[in-house]
């Protein structure tokens, strides 16, 4: 299996960031299948589109700002390996960047990371709140399933635009802050970013469902919804959050078989690099 092009060390111990693929969509109810192909596809596209050959040497089209970080690609793991492997990663204070798979995987990652970090400040990018409570342990109940391991007051949802009534009721019940694409249209990305940065706690985890982005930029997702975030606004916000420091991130729900010319996988590759390069930079 190809490694993501941003991987620059073969030594796990030396690395600051660990890329992990989790090609599992067993807890998705989406009509579109195929998110399990994303860890392979995003790595493949990263090597085709984010790198350049000059006189037989490969160089990266790296982000414009931010310094190089040590990145290790762990390869793919199964759902049942998540707890053990994330224990190992957090024991050595490395930052996991996970590629799904369906969004339910985030539940297992957060529950594992919370053992080390305590309550997580969750930044949840998604078109859908994933806050169903009448069913549990699937891709529509992630926020409900991690409630005991997140600090609601410092958590936030971004990009939400198609909640079910039950999810709206839960958002109101727990007083979870939500920023919709219209909020960004009205206030501007800079003001929205500042208010998010002021809200976040010390242990920030970014869960990134690719369907938060407008289908014009990210058509290859399992449940697309029109009127999403622009790719530039999204990455600007991600970079500003990453600068503060994160304990982990995931990129979920990319669905390569519904993509248009791999543009969603290319955006996913860029997002991963922008977050890594910006991370901890002041
Ligand atoms: Mn989701």
What's the gap in Å between 126 CA and the centre of ligand 1?
5
Burial label for 182, CB within 10 Å (0-12, 13-18, 19+), is: exposed
What's the gap in Å between 22 CA and the centre of ligand 1?
15
Q: What are the structural domain ranges in the chain?
A: 12-278
**Nearest by Cα to 212 from 168, 154, 271, 280:** 271
72-129 pLDDT per residue, tens: 999 999 999 999 999 999 999 999 999 999 999 999 999 999 999 999 999 999 999 9
- pTM, whole model, 2 decimals? 0.98
**Nearest by Cα to 30 from 254, 267, 271:** 254
What's the gap in Å between 252 CA and the centre of ligand 1?
7
Half-sphere exposure of 84 (CA within 13 A, CB side): 5
What's the gap in Å between 141 CA and the centre of ligand 1?
9
Angle at 178 between CA 177 and CA 181, to 5 degrees: 155
What's the gap in Å between 130 CA and the centre of ligand 1?
6
Spatial neighbors of 211 by CB under 8 A, at least 6 apart, are: 126, 127, 128, 218, 221, 222, 223, 224, 225, 228, 253
User: Is the per-residue pLDDT at 1 higher than 90?
Assistant: no
What's the gap in Å between 138 CA and the centre of ligand 1?
10
User: Is the per-residue pLDDT at 282 higher than 90?
Assistant: no
The pLDDT of residue 149: 98
The pLDDT of residue 115: 97
Tell me the H-state helices in the chain: 38-49, 82-91, 105-117, 142-145, 165-174, 181-187, 189-199, 231-244, 263-278
What's the gap in Å between 117 CA and the centre of ligand 1?
23
DSSP per residue over 154-207, as a string?
G-EEES-----HHHHHHHHHHT-EEE-HHHHHHH-HHHHHHHHHHH--SSEEEE
What are the phi and psi torsion angles at 208 (to 5°)? -115, 100
| Strand pairing class (156-158; 121-125) | parallel
pLDDT mean across residues, the chain: 97
Token look-up 């976040």 returns: 200
Domain 12-278 = CATH 3.30.1330.10: no
């Amino acid at each position: 299996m190809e490694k993501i092009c941003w991987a620059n060390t073969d030594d796990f111990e030396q690395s600051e960031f660990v890329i992990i693929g989790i090609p599992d969509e067993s807890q998705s109810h989406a009509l579109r299948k195929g998110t399990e192909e994303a860890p392979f596809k995003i790595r493949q596209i990263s090597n085709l589109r984010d790198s350049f050959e000059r006189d037989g040497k490969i160089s990266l089209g790296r982000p414009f700002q931010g310094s190089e970080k040590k990145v290790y690609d762990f390869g793919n793991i199964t759902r049942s390996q998540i707890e053990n492997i994330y224990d190992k990663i957090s024991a050595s204070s490395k930052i996991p960047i996970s590629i799904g798979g369906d969004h339910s995987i985030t539940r297992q990652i957060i529950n594992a990371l919370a053992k080390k970090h305590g309550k997580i400040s969750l930044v949840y990018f998604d078109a859908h709140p994933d806050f169903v409570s009448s069913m549990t342990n699937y891709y529509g109940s992630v926020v409900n399933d991690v409630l005991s391991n997140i600090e609601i007051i410092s958590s936030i949802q971004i990009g939400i635009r198609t909640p079910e009534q039950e999810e709206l009721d839960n958002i109101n019940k727990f007083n979870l802050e939500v920023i919709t694409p219209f909020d960004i249209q009205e206030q501007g990305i800079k003001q929205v970013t500042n208010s998010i940065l002021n809200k976040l706690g010390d242990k920030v985890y970014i869960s990134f469902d690719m369907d938060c982005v407008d289908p014009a930029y990210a058509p290859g997702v399992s449940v697309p919804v029109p009127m999403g975030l622009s790719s530039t606004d999204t990455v600007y916000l991600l970079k500003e959050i990453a600068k503060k420091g994160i304990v982990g991130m995931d990129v979920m729900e990319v669905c390569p078989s519904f993509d248009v010319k791999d543009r969603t996988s290319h955006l996913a590759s860029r997002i991963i690099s922008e977050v890594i390069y910006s991370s901890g930079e002041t």
